[in-house]
Structure 1
Amino acid sequence: MQILQALLTPTIAVAVGVIGFLQWRTAHQKVMLDLFERRMKVIDEVNDALGHYWSNEGNLSDFNARRRLALAYSSSRYLFGEDVTTEIKRLVAFATELSLLKARLEKLVADGPERSEVIEKILLLEDAFEKWLISFPVLCLPYMTHDQRRIGTLGDWLAERNRKRLSYADKP
């Protein structure tokens, strides 16, 4: 009887430890999911602004598109790394420059060398914008993974530790 009582205390301690770990794991997953949703909201804002660009005949300079980009930029500073924030800031710069060029184009006479120069700048800006569209999702992808959902095995943990060790330029 005393042996059973003595074994009951460590059993309860282990059960409490397991329950505590599972509660921490659930809270951690909830935080990671909330972070994912907030990051996705920023990406959706950028995509909505880009959708506005494509639906309004290249009018990224529209007030609503620039407002959405400004909102995405301000939110991205707290949710992403410097690389994503810089790219959104670059898109805001594209939008501002495009707005200025289109306003300048409307004021120019029908034909002339200055008008063709502005049109050429707009086309170059649109080419840079096309390249931006390809690079931005690739840049955001590492921030959007859900690798914390899966509990890794000991082999996974050892492989990750070895990868980190090798990143310090050690020899395998």
Structure 2
Amino acid sequence: MLKEMLGFYMNCDPHWTSYISALLVPLVAIFGSYIAFRQWRTAQNKLKLELFERRLKIYNSATSFISSVMATGKATDRELHDLIVGTKEAKWLLSKDIAKYLDEELYSKGVDLQCFAAELEGVPISQARTNTVHEQRDIKKWLYRQYGIIDEKFSKYLQLSH
């Protein structure tokens, strides 16, 4: 009888596999949650990187326009077109102030510079020609100063901080 009683108690004790299987379910849930969290973080970082790249294209379009004007002294139709096409998404990816600056100031100065260059063609040396050259000089100086201003305006949007 004692043997039967001991055998009964021995059979009632849970086997070590029961403990493992009981712990396995919460461990799998915790591990699955960790994987889901890491996937969410990866998606967030990917979004930041894609947004950074699109904003950087706008920045590069603006600075490329200025560099081209500084190198040639002229704003061609092609350069103005590239500026418009390259910065058209600024109102959605950056602030409205930056979009306004790119459209109403940078582009406008490029058009003014282009118009002044057209006015100079075939104009003899005179006070009007001198005034137009001075206007061109002022616009080129303004454009040169825009490197720092563009960096300041874009710095908030071109950060990859975590």
Q: TM-score, normalised by structure 1?
A: 0.75
Q: Deviations over 1:89-142 (max 9, x none)?
A: 11101101111112112243222x222222222222222222222210121111
- Per the TM alignment, residue 79 of structure 1 is displaced from its structure 2 partner at its CA by 1.6
1:30 matched to 2:41: no
In 1, the alpha carbon distance for the partners of 2:160 and 2:52 equals: 8
* Residues 1:121 and 2:127 are matched in the alignment: no
CA distance in 2, matches of 1:72, 1:80: 13
Greater CA radius of gyration, 1 or 2? 2
Superposed counterparts of 1:1-172, under 5 Å: 1=16, 2-56=18-72, 58-59=73-74, 61-89=75-103, 90-111=105-126, 113-148=127-162
Structure 2 residues without counterparts, runs of 5 or longer: 1-15
Q: Is the 8 A contact 1:50 1:65 kept in 2?
A: no
Select the structure with the greater relative contact order (CA < 8 A; seq sep ≥ 6).
2
Instruction: Read off the aligned partner of 1:131 and give its amino acid letter.
Output: R
CA distance, structure 2, for counterparts of residue 124 and residue 48 of structure 1: 19
Q: Which moved more, 1:9-18 or 1:102-111?
A: 102-111
Unaligned runs of 5+ in 1: 149-172
Please say if residues 46 and 68 of structure 1, whose CA atoms lie closer than 8 Å, have aligned partners that are also in contact.
no
Residue deviations 1:38-90, cap 9 Å, x none? 1112222223222321332x11x212210111112212222211232222211
- TM-score, normalised via structure 2 length: 0.79
Amino acid at match of 2:28: I
User: What residue identity is the alignment partner of 1:81?
Assistant: S
* Structure 1 residue runs of 4 or more that deviate by more than 3 Å after TM superposition: 1-6
Kindly state the Cα deviation for residue 10 of structure 1 after the two structures are TM-superposed. Answer: 1.9
Measured after TM superposition, the shift of residue 3 of structure 1 is 4.5
Identity among equivalent pairs (%): 21
Match of 1:155 in 2: none
SS of the residue aligned with 1:143?
coil
